[in-house]
Structure 1
Amino acid sequence: MDQLMDILTEVNADVDFETCDTLIDDGILDSFDIVSIVGELNDTFDIEITPVDIVPENFNSAEAMWEMIQRLQDN
Protein backbone atom coordinates (compact mmCIF):
# COMPACT_ATOMS: atom_id res chain seq x y z
CA MET A 1 0.00 0.00 0.00
CA ASP A 2 2.93 2.35 0.69
CA GLN A 3 4.14 1.97 -2.91
CA LEU A 4 0.65 2.82 -4.15
CA MET A 5 0.50 5.94 -2.00
CA ASP A 6 3.93 7.02 -3.29
CA ILE A 7 2.72 6.62 -6.89
CA LEU A 8 -0.49 8.56 -6.24
CA THR A 9 1.34 11.37 -4.45
CA GLU A 10 3.80 11.59 -7.34
CA VAL A 11 0.91 11.96 -9.82
CA ASN A 12 -0.93 14.60 -7.77
CA ALA A 13 0.59 15.80 -4.50
CA ASP A 14 -2.34 18.12 -3.75
CA VAL A 15 -4.84 15.29 -3.12
CA ASP A 16 -5.45 13.57 0.22
CA PHE A 17 -5.45 10.02 -1.12
CA GLU A 18 -5.74 8.57 2.39
CA THR A 19 -9.29 9.83 2.89
CA CYS A 20 -10.73 10.80 -0.51
CA ASP A 21 -13.14 8.25 -2.00
CA THR A 22 -14.52 10.33 -4.88
CA LEU A 23 -11.38 10.78 -6.98
CA ILE A 24 -13.24 10.08 -10.24
CA ASP A 25 -16.78 11.09 -9.27
CA ASP A 26 -15.63 14.58 -8.25
CA GLY A 27 -13.19 14.99 -11.15
CA ILE A 28 -10.16 15.17 -8.87
CA LEU A 29 -8.21 12.86 -11.17
CA ASP A 30 -8.38 13.51 -14.90
CA SER A 31 -7.81 11.06 -17.73
CA PHE A 32 -4.10 11.91 -17.94
CA ASP A 33 -3.73 11.16 -14.22
CA ILE A 34 -5.44 7.79 -14.71
CA VAL A 35 -3.20 6.89 -17.66
CA SER A 36 -0.14 7.77 -15.56
CA ILE A 37 -1.41 5.77 -12.58
CA VAL A 38 -2.27 2.73 -14.72
CA GLY A 39 1.21 2.70 -16.27
CA GLU A 40 2.92 3.00 -12.89
CA LEU A 41 0.73 0.33 -11.28
CA ASN A 42 1.33 -2.09 -14.17
CA ASP A 43 5.10 -1.64 -13.88
CA THR A 44 5.38 -1.52 -10.09
CA PHE A 45 3.05 -4.39 -9.23
CA ASP A 46 3.64 -6.53 -12.36
CA ILE A 47 -0.04 -6.55 -13.28
CA GLU A 48 -2.02 -5.76 -16.42
CA ILE A 49 -4.83 -3.28 -15.96
CA THR A 50 -7.09 -3.68 -18.98
CA PRO A 51 -9.75 -1.27 -20.27
CA VAL A 52 -12.35 -3.43 -18.49
CA ASP A 53 -10.65 -2.53 -15.17
CA ILE A 54 -10.61 1.21 -15.86
CA VAL A 55 -13.93 2.06 -14.24
CA PRO A 56 -14.70 4.63 -11.53
CA GLU A 57 -15.27 1.92 -8.91
CA ASN A 58 -11.61 0.88 -9.22
CA PHE A 59 -10.16 4.40 -9.14
CA ASN A 60 -12.37 6.44 -6.79
CA SER A 61 -10.07 5.79 -3.82
CA ALA A 62 -6.63 4.47 -2.97
CA GLU A 63 -8.32 1.58 -1.17
CA ALA A 64 -10.27 0.64 -4.31
CA MET A 65 -7.08 0.76 -6.35
CA TRP A 66 -5.31 -1.43 -3.79
CA GLU A 67 -8.14 -3.99 -3.92
CA MET A 68 -7.92 -4.02 -7.73
CA ILE A 69 -4.13 -4.54 -7.56
CA GLN A 70 -4.53 -7.47 -5.18
CA ARG A 71 -7.26 -9.02 -7.34
CA LEU A 72 -5.13 -8.73 -10.48
CA GLN A 73 -2.08 -10.16 -8.72
CA ASP A 74 -4.12 -13.22 -7.73
CA ASN A 75 -5.10 -13.95 -11.33
Structure 2
Amino acid sequence: MDAILDILNELNPDVDYRDRTDLVDSRTLDSLTIITLVSELEDAFDITIPAVEVVPANFNSLEGMWKMVERMRESGL
Protein backbone atom coordinates (compact mmCIF):
# COMPACT_ATOMS: atom_id res chain seq x y z
CA MET A 1 0.00 0.00 0.00
CA ASP A 2 2.95 2.30 0.63
CA ALA A 3 3.88 2.18 -3.06
CA ILE A 4 0.43 3.53 -3.96
CA LEU A 5 0.78 6.22 -1.31
CA ASP A 6 4.13 7.23 -2.81
CA ILE A 7 2.56 7.54 -6.27
CA LEU A 8 -0.33 9.60 -4.90
CA ASN A 9 2.03 11.89 -3.02
CA GLU A 10 3.99 12.49 -6.22
CA LEU A 11 0.78 13.53 -7.96
CA ASN A 12 -0.41 15.81 -5.14
CA PRO A 13 1.50 15.90 -1.84
CA ASP A 14 -1.01 18.20 -0.14
CA VAL A 15 -3.69 15.53 0.39
CA ASP A 16 -4.08 13.18 3.37
CA TYR A 17 -4.60 10.02 1.34
CA ARG A 18 -4.59 7.68 4.35
CA ASP A 19 -7.80 9.09 5.83
CA ARG A 20 -9.76 10.28 2.79
CA THR A 21 -12.60 8.19 1.40
CA ASP A 22 -13.94 10.74 -1.08
CA LEU A 23 -11.01 11.36 -3.41
CA VAL A 24 -13.10 11.07 -6.58
CA ASP A 25 -16.39 12.29 -5.14
CA SER A 26 -14.74 15.49 -3.87
CA ARG A 27 -12.83 15.86 -7.15
CA THR A 28 -9.51 15.67 -5.32
CA LEU A 29 -8.65 13.15 -8.04
CA ASP A 30 -9.90 14.44 -11.38
CA SER A 31 -10.10 12.48 -14.62
CA LEU A 32 -6.64 13.48 -15.84
CA THR A 33 -5.07 12.58 -12.51
CA ILE A 34 -6.84 9.21 -12.53
CA ILE A 35 -5.51 8.46 -16.03
CA THR A 36 -2.00 9.23 -14.82
CA LEU A 37 -2.58 7.21 -11.66
CA VAL A 38 -3.80 4.19 -13.63
CA SER A 39 -0.66 4.29 -15.76
CA GLU A 40 1.58 4.62 -12.70
CA LEU A 41 -0.18 1.74 -10.90
CA GLU A 42 0.10 -0.47 -13.96
CA ASP A 43 3.83 0.21 -14.21
CA ALA A 44 4.51 -0.12 -10.48
CA PHE A 45 2.63 -3.39 -10.02
CA ASP A 46 3.02 -4.87 -13.52
CA ILE A 47 -0.75 -5.14 -13.97
CA THR A 48 -3.38 -4.00 -16.44
CA ILE A 49 -6.34 -2.07 -15.09
CA PRO A 50 -9.32 -2.56 -17.42
CA ALA A 51 -11.57 0.42 -18.10
CA VAL A 52 -14.42 -1.27 -16.18
CA GLU A 53 -12.30 -0.97 -13.02
CA VAL A 54 -11.94 2.81 -13.35
CA VAL A 55 -14.90 3.63 -11.13
CA PRO A 56 -15.17 5.88 -8.06
CA ALA A 57 -15.36 2.95 -5.64
CA ASN A 58 -11.86 1.87 -6.69
CA PHE A 59 -10.31 5.34 -6.49
CA ASN A 60 -12.13 7.10 -3.63
CA SER A 61 -9.64 5.82 -1.07
CA LEU A 62 -6.17 4.39 -0.69
CA GLU A 63 -7.74 1.16 0.57
CA GLY A 64 -9.99 0.93 -2.49
CA MET A 65 -7.01 1.33 -4.79
CA TRP A 66 -5.05 -1.30 -2.88
CA LYS A 67 -7.93 -3.79 -3.10
CA MET A 68 -8.24 -3.17 -6.84
CA VAL A 69 -4.50 -3.68 -7.35
CA GLU A 70 -4.64 -6.90 -5.34
CA ARG A 71 -7.57 -8.16 -7.46
CA MET A 72 -5.69 -7.39 -10.65
CA ARG A 73 -2.57 -9.16 -9.38
CA GLU A 74 -4.56 -12.22 -8.29
CA SER A 75 -6.41 -12.39 -11.60
CA GLY A 76 -3.15 -12.16 -13.54
CA LEU A 77 -4.09 -8.97 -15.34
TM-score where L is the length of structure 1: 0.97
Whether 2:47 is the aligned partner of 1:47: answer: yes
Q: Deviations over 1:22-58 (max 9, x none)?
A: 0001111111110110000000001101110000000
Structure 1 segments, 4+ long, off by >4 Å, are none
The root-mean-square deviation of aligned C-alpha atoms, in Å, is 0.6
AA in 1 matched with 2:19: T
SS at match of 2:67: helix
Identity of matched residues, % = 48
TM-score where L is the length of structure 2: 0.94
After superposition, where does 1:64-75 map in structure 2 within 5 Å?
Answer: 64-75=64-75
